[in-house]
């Protein structure tokens, strides 16, 4: 049997677009002699649909699209993912399902057993878990049809009490097909490959795996669909971060040569952030972006990503120097804007800042210059950027990094403004590495931006290290606390200074309220701020 792997970029709730892509792909695959086309999990409605699943009309529209696609499946079969109605009185109303379509109708439906409810996943909120197991037979091929997480309960510390493939293997399938919506993190590709390899080896079966490619708000799907032989070797690897269509003949899978699939961390992160930014704009119908260009490394990185994602003609950079801005910050910013060919403006804020200070002087009671005045400058800049955003229809890109967001080193309604946080899941040390990756062939970001000491330039001779530990000290502690969920005793036992750890964790916890007011953050790590990390604002832990 000739099987097509259809790795496509879907749009949540855009049924006309999603169905059109599926039917177009079916037509193309049919011309290429394919017997079956495999599409990703919940491709009909897009992933994740979240509370749209609570609308009966939404579910009705999903089924309408499935039936329409089924009517096109004559001389070819398809597997598509969509929610289906649970016919039982007990349990939740819906299943997360794989529909097998052939001969112009729905041939069979297989439901997802293991429903992830951790990190960014919340499937048990909506779906009933499957409790019956049956293979699908088509063209004399016995298929163990599974959905994403159904293959992940294979590690030494299983998350669930059921392993679907342990049940399906009893029916002697010839191969495993897994349709997935597996979002990107810089560790996910290796973890995903290991899971698929372990399944192939444990059950002695080839595995066909099809994932989404594209972004849905903060989640980025990197594709990377693949075919593995019974020994767990990858014999067909689809592109990363792009739509792709590939074919495999089932009788040839175990004879095809193995492929290598190593992914460079920073190459992948860069592609992910470009894709995430581009899809955020395209799928919301936005065209142009604006951002503040400070002469620092964070805004420089965001400008590079935006220019790549949206085109240089659709990006506008604004320099807003104050009396505390250094000359090199302005000159470095101008050089970067010229290197990228983006439009830029220079709007000094000193006059506006001084007017605000004069206006507030009577109520401030002649108190000395402090953090208040520093934040006032950031809010002057935020006001200018949001005003230009309103006037011209730009979307403001936020330029805060994860280290700053973690410890509250940012100003609400100032530099924390924006419609999208592009690098809010990158620690500062990772920001430096990604900039070096961008400059790997030629100097796009001026070297002076990368090598100078980080500074907000909100008071004379200010440096980030005046308020925070050096980033090479700060970031490992943050990683241990945020990604690894380690407490202070564990972090100190790993060799970090106790006073530094206590200070950092206190800052993280105290600033939870700020993070609840940030824009959506493009997720590139296993634990991003936002939907994947849900902590109470009013709490006492570790403080």
Distances in Å between the Cα of 486 and the Cα atoms of 6, 326, 476, 505, 507 are 40, 40, 11, 11, 16
Active-site residues, by number, are 41, 112, 148
Average pLDDT of span 217-226: 98
Superfamily designation of domain 269-464 = HUPs (3.40.50.620)
Q: What distance in Å separates the CA atoms of residue 5 and residue 211, rounded to the nearest whole number?
A: 9
Distances in Å between the Cα of 37 and the Cα atoms of 7, 28, 32, 195, 206 are 10, 10, 11, 23, 16
Residue 106 phi, psi dihedral angles, 5° rounding: -80, 115
Contacts of 249 (CB under 8 A, 6+ apart): 1, 2, 3
Average pLDDT of the residues of the chain? 96
pLDDT computed for residue 324 by the predictor: 87
Average pLDDT of span 89-103: 96
Tell me how long the chain is.
Answer: 543
pLDDT at 106 over 70: yes
Q: How confident is the model at residue 11 (pLDDT cuts 50, 70, 90)?
A: very high
Residue 472 phi, psi dihedral angles, 5° rounding: -70, -15
Each residue's pLDDT tens digit, 338-388: 999 999 999 999 999 999 999 999 999 989 999 999 999 999 999 999 999
Decide which of 3.60.110.10, 3.40.50.1820, 3.30.379.10, 3.30.365.10 is the CATH code for 2-263. 3.60.110.10
Contacts of 234 (CB under 8 A, 6+ apart): 193, 226, 227, 228, 258, 259, 260, 261
Q: In what order do the strands lie in the sheet with 141-147?
A: 136-138, 141-147, 175-179, 207-210, 226-228, 234-237
Identical fold for domains 2-263 and 269-464, yes or no, is no
Q: What distance in Å separates the CA atoms of residue 485 and residue 508, rounded to the nearest whole number?
A: 13
pLDDT computed for residue 221 by the predictor: 98
Average pLDDT of span 176-180: 98
Q: Is the pTM of this model over 0.85?
A: yes
SS3 of 271, please? helix
Average pLDDT of span 208-213: 98
pLDDT computed for residue 326 by the predictor: 81
Residue 412 falls in which region: left (phi positive, over 0), alpha (psi -120 to 50) or beta: beta
Range name among 30-39, 452-461, 521-530 with the lowest pLDDT average = 452-461
Secondary structure of 464-510 in HEC code, one letter for each residue: HHHCCCCHHHHHHHHHHHHCCCCCHHHHHHCCCCHHHHHHHHHHHHH
Each residue's pLDDT tens digit, 226-284: 999 999 999 999 999 999 999 999 999 999 999 987 789 999 999 999 999 999 999 99
pLDDT computed for residue 461 by the predictor: 79
Each residue's pLDDT tens digit, 162-174: 999 999 999 999 9
Q: How confident is the model at residue 458 (pLDDT cuts 50, 70, 90)?
A: confident
Average pLDDT of span 520-537: 95
Average pLDDT of span 214-227: 98
Average pLDDT of span 33-43: 98
pLDDT computed for residue 467 by the predictor: 83
pLDDT computed for residue 157 by the predictor: 67
Q: Are 468 and 474 in contact (CB under 8 A)?
A: yes
Q: Give the rounded percent of residues in the chain with a pLDDT score beyond 70.
A: 99
- Dihedral sign for Cα 516, 422, 216, 40, please: negative
Q: Are 277 and 305 in contact (CB under 8 A)?
A: yes
Rg (CA), the chain: 26
Q: What distance in Å separates the CA atoms of residue 50 and residue 47, rounded to the nearest whole number?
A: 8
pLDDT computed for residue 432 by the predictor: 97
Q: Taking the domains of the chain in order of start, what are their residue ranges?
A: 2-263, 269-464
pLDDT computed for residue 397 by the predictor: 98
Q: How confident is the model at residue 465 (pLDDT cuts 50, 70, 90)?
A: confident
């Amino acid at each position: 049997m000739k099987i097509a792997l259809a790795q496509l970029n879907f749009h949540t709730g855009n049924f006309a677009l999603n169905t059109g892509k599926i039917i177009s792909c079916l037509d193309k695959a049919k011309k290429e002699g394919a017997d079956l086309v495999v599409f990703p999990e919940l491709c009909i409605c897009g992933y994740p649909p979240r509370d749209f699943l609570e609308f009966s009309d939404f579910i009705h529209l999903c089924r309408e699209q499935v039936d329409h696609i089924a009517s096109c499946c004559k001389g070819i079969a398809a597997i598509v993912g969509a929610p289906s109605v649970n016919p039982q009185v007990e349990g939740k109303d819906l299943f997360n399902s794989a529909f097998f379509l052939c001969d112009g109708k729905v041939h069979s439906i297989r439901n997802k057993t293991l429903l992830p409810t951790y990190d960014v996943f919340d499937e048990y909120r909506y779906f009933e878990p499957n409790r019956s197991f049956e293979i699908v037979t088509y063209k004399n091929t016995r298929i163990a049809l599974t959905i994403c997480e159904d293959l992940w309960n294979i590690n030494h510390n299983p998350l669930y009490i059921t392993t679907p493939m342990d049940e399906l293997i009893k029916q002697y399938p010839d191969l495993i097909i897994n349709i997935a919506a597996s979002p990107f993190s810089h560790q996910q590709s290796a973890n995903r490959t290991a899971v698929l390899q372990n399944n192939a080896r444990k059950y002695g079966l080839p595995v066909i795996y099809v994932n989404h490619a594209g972004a849905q708000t903060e989640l980025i799907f990197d594709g990377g669909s693949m075919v593995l032989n019974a020994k767990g070797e990858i014999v067909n690897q689809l592109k990363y971060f792009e739509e792709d269509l590939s074919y495999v003949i089932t009788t040839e899978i175990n004879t095809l040569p193995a492929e290598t699939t190593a992914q460079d961390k920073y190459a992948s992160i860069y592609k992910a952030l470009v894709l995430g930014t581009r899809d955020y704009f395209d799928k919301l119908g936005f065209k142009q972006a604006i951002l503040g260009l400070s002469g620092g490394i964070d805004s420089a990185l965001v400008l590079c990503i935006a220019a790549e994602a949206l085109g240089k003609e659709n990006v506008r950079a604004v320099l807003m120097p104050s009396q505390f801005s250094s000359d090199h910050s302005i000159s470095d910013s101008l050089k970067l804007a010229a290197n990228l060919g983006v439009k830029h403006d220079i709007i000094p804020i000193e006059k506006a800042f001084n007017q605000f200070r004069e206006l507030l002087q009577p109520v401030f009671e002649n108190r000395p210059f402090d953090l208040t005045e520093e934040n006032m400058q950031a809010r002057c800049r935020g006001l200018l950027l949001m005003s230009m955003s309103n006037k011209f229809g730009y979307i403001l890109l936020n330029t805060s990094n994860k280290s700053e967001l973690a410890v509250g080193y940012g100003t609400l309604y100032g530099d924390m403004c924006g419609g999208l946080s592009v690098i809010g899941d990158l620690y500062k040390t990772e920001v430096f590495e990604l900039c070096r990756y961008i400059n790997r062939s030629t100097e796009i970001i001026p070297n002076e931006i990368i090598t100078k000491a980080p500074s907000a330039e909100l008071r004379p001779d200010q440096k980030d290290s005046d308020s925070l530990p050096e980033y090479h000290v700060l970031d490992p502690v943050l990683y241990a606390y945020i990604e690894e969920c380690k407490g202070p005793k564990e972090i100190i036992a790993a060799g970090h200074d106790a006073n530094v750890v206590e200070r950092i964790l206190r800052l993280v916890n105290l600033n939870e309220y700020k993070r609840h007011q940030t824009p959506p953050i493009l997720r590139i790590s296993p634990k991003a701020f936002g939907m994947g990390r849900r902590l109470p604002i009013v709490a006492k832990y570790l403080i």
